[in-house]
């Protein structure tokens, strides 16, 4: 299959792949006959792209390609990596058929960013054969910075050009940053206009010019003006002092990606205040999953006055959390049950004294409602002692990339750093 890799390298464009393949085979047979110089002959084949639409199955695509009856059986027998149940709508199949024949002899589909599967008809009674082609992605380390005006999405969306990361990847990057800081920053409440975000990421690029991000290697988020660092190390994120970002309490009972599920949607600040009723209200769509902010034991799960459907969880050190106005409870949730941190315990609703779907969250210390501060999340475990020196070296290196000396103003420097080693 070496020739194919070379060939794709030369062609470079995904859509051209099928055409290129056809051309190659015609070329080979001509070579053997020693008749003519290699010229591109595509007329021998019909090639087309077919998209799997909603409610369609692989069989529908195959039927349009003439792969029915015995051919279908042979096709299904030959497929191994190709999993018909995991094909999602929108997938594009590249089909080739020898002109004048009813059955396709090549069907290709890219099931993963780094994988393309070709099904090849061998002819006669030989059936089909599956060939899996790897698509190489080149990793680069890059830094980007953004200033938050309304929210994290908008900030990244404005700061990062398409040539650096396409729109969908920018959304995923915002989610990923929020995940890294899940114990540290509530991006719907803690951030103020003018706060900065800087990240060093692995940016992956394919030969076809596609772009996506890999890991977040380092980040700095200014939370209400004060910096909070994150450095990946041995599968965890640590701050600049080597304390794990993972804490006893999550910063928010709703996942950021759930609160701001509409891409680029603005967060409405109306409900985000700590109010006289001693809780924090989160506006969120009906049915949004609510998670326990820390491990604990359920002490209430039922109807309770103005709270509507309420869950109360008891945690270590005299802390309790309450989640009100729920539309329903998670399956199997009952008083006395242990819950893990991040576990879905219920769903946003508008039961009790509530004018619209939102979550009422309370954080009680020794029975007293408290506005949870970042310090209340608990202390993170330090980097294991024997790895401390390795971490320090790694952090110093990443910090230099995150905050270069000749720093340009915090608009955007989506310029490449060095090709990744790692
Ligand atoms: Zn409330």
**244-279 pLDDT per residue, tens:** 999 999 999 999 888 754 333 333 344 444 445 678
- CB contact set of 303 (below 8 Å; sequence gap of 6+): 309, 310, 351
Res 12 pLDDT > 80: no
CA of 119 from ligand 1 middle (Å) equals: 57
* Ligand 1 centroid – CA 348 distance (Å): 12
Fold of 2-134: Nuclear Transport Factor 2; Chain: A, (3.10.450)
Mean pLDDT lowest for which of 137-146, 341-350, 373-382? 373-382
Q: What is the Cα–Cα distance from 161 to 170, expressed in whole angstroms?
A: 9
Ligand 1 centroid to Cα of residue 255, in Å, is 18
Q: Which residue has the higher pLDDT, 114 or 233?
A: 233
Nearest-CA neighbor of 97 among 172, 167, 42, 33? 42
Q: How far apart are CA 76 and CA 64, in angstroms?
A: 16
Ligand 1 midpoint to CA 188 (Å): 16
Locus of tokens 């985000």: 272
Arithmetic mean of pLDDT over the chain:
83
pLDDT in tens, 159-174: 999 989 999 999 999 9
Distance CA 159, CA 410 (A): 10
**Position 124 pLDDT exceeds 70:** yes
Look at the block and give the residue holding tokens 């992956």. Answer: 204
CA atoms within 13 A on the CB side of 134: 5
Helix (H, G, I), strand (E, B) or coil at 283: strand
Task: Confirm whether 2-134 and 136-247+379-422 share one CATH topology.
Answer: yes
User: Distances in Å between the alpha carbon of 413 and those of 161, 245, 397?
Assistant: 10, 26, 18
- Interval 105-134 mean pLDDT: 92
| Strand pairing report for 328-329 and 358-365 | unpaired
- Residue 66 Cα, ligand 1 centroid: separation in angstroms? 60
Q: What is the Å distance from ligand 1's center to 282 Cα?
A: 8
Q: Which of 274, 282, 230, 234 is nearest to 258 (CA)?
A: 282
Q: Distance (Å, rounded) from C-alpha 394 to C-alpha 122?
A: 52
Distance from residue 281's CA to the centre of ligand 1 (Å):
5
Distance 318 CA to ligand 1 centre (A): 22
Task: Calculate how far, in angstroms, residue 185's C-alpha sits from the geometric centre of ligand 1.
Answer: 20
- Locate 245 and state its tokens: 């970002």
pLDDT at site 259: 76
Distance of alpha carbon 60 from alpha carbon 376, whole angstroms:
56
* pLDDT single digits (tens) 225-242: 889 999 999 999 999 999
Fold (CATH) for 136-247+379-422: Nuclear Transport Factor 2; Chain: A, (3.10.450)
Query: Which class does domain 253-377 fall in?
Result: mainly beta
Say whether 185 sits in a helix, a strand or coil. Answer: coil
Residue 276 has a pLDDT of 52
pLDDT value of residue 41: 55
Residue 276 alpha carbon to ligand 1 centre in Å = 9
CA of 405 to the centre of ligand 1 (A): 46
Q: How many other β-carbons are positioned within 10 Å of the β-carbon of residue 270?
A: 9
pLDDT tens per residue, range 55-91: 999 999 999 999 999 999 999 999 999 999 989 999 9
Average pLDDT score over residue span 112-134: 91
Does 336 score more than 70 pLDDT? yes
Compute, in angstroms, the gap from residue 1 CA to the centroid of ligand 1: 62
- What is the 393 CA–ligand 1 centroid distance (Å)? 46
Q: Which residues contact 299 (CB under 8 A, 6 or more apart)?
A: 312, 313, 314, 320, 335
In whole angstroms, what is the distance from residue 336 CA to residue 314 CA? 10
For the segment 282-301, the average pLDDT, to the nearest whole number, is 95
- Whole-number Å distance, alpha carbon 367 to ligand 1 midpoint, is 17
Question: Ligand 1 centre and the CA of 247: distance in Å?
Answer: 25
Structure tokens at 243: 């304390």
Q: Where are the domains positioned within the chain?
A: 2-134, 136-247+379-422, 253-377
Where do we find the tokens 């009100």?
324
Give pLDDT, residue 371: 84
Q: Using CA atoms, how far apart are residues 279 and 324, in angstroms rounded to an integer?
A: 10
pLDDT, average across residues 377-403: 94
Does residue 422 carry a pLDDT above 90?
Answer: no
pLDDT confidence of 102, banded at 50, 70, 90? very high
């Amino acid at each position: 299959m070496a020739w194919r890799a070379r060939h794709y390298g030369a062609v470079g464009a995904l859509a051209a792949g099928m055409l290129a393949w056809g051309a190659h085979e015609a070329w080979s047979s001509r070579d053997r006959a020693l008749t003519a110089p290699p010229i591109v002959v595509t007329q021998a084949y019909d090639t087309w792209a077919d998209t799997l639409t909603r409610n369609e199955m692989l069989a529908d695509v195959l039927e349009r390609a003439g792969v029915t009856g015995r051919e279908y059986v042979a096709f299904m027998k030959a497929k191994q990596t190709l999993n018909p149940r995991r094909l999602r709508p929108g997938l594009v199949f590249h089909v080739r058929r020898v002109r004048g024949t009813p059955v396709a002899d090549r069907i290709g589909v890219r099931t993963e960013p780094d994988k393309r599967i070709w099904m090849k008809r061998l002819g006669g009674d030989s059936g089909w054969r599956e060939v899996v082609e790897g698509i190489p992605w080149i990793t680069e380390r890059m830094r980007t910075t953004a200033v938050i005006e309304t929210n994290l999405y908008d900030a990244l969306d404005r700061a990062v050009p398409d040539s650096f990361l396409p729109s969908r990847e920018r959304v995923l990057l915002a989610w990923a940053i929020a995940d890294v800081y899940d114990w540290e920053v509530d991006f719907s409440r803690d951030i103020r206009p003018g706060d900065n975000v800087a990240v060093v990421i692995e940016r992956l690029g394919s030969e076809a010019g596609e772009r996506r991000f890999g890991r977040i290697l380092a980040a700095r988020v200014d939370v209400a003006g004060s910096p909070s660092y994150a450095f990946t190390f041995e599968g965890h994120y640590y701050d600049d002092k080597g304390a794990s970002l993972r804490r006893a309490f999550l910063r928010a009972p709703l996942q950021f990606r759930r609160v701001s599920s509409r891409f680029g949607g603005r967060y409405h600040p109306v409900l985000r205040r700590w109010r006289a009723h001693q809780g924090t209200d989160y506006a969120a769509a009906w049915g949004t999953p609510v998670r326990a902010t820390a491990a604990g034991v359920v002490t209430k799960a039922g109807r309770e006055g103005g709270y509507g459907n309420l869950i109360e969880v008891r945690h270590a050190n005299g802390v309790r959390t309450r989640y009100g106005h729920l539309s329903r409870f998670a399956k199997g949730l009952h008083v006395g049950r242990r819950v893990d941190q991040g576990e879905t315990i219920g769903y946003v609703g508008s039961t009790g004294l509530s004018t619209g779907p939102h979550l009422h969250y309370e954080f009680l210390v020794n029975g007293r409602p408290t506005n949870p501060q970042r310090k209340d999340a608990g202390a993170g475990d330090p980097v294991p002692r024997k790895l401390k020196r390795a971490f320090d070296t790694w952090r110093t290196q990443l910090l230099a990339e995150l905050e270069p000396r000749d720093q340009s103003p915090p608009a955007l420097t989506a310029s490449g750093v060095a090709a990744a080693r790692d």
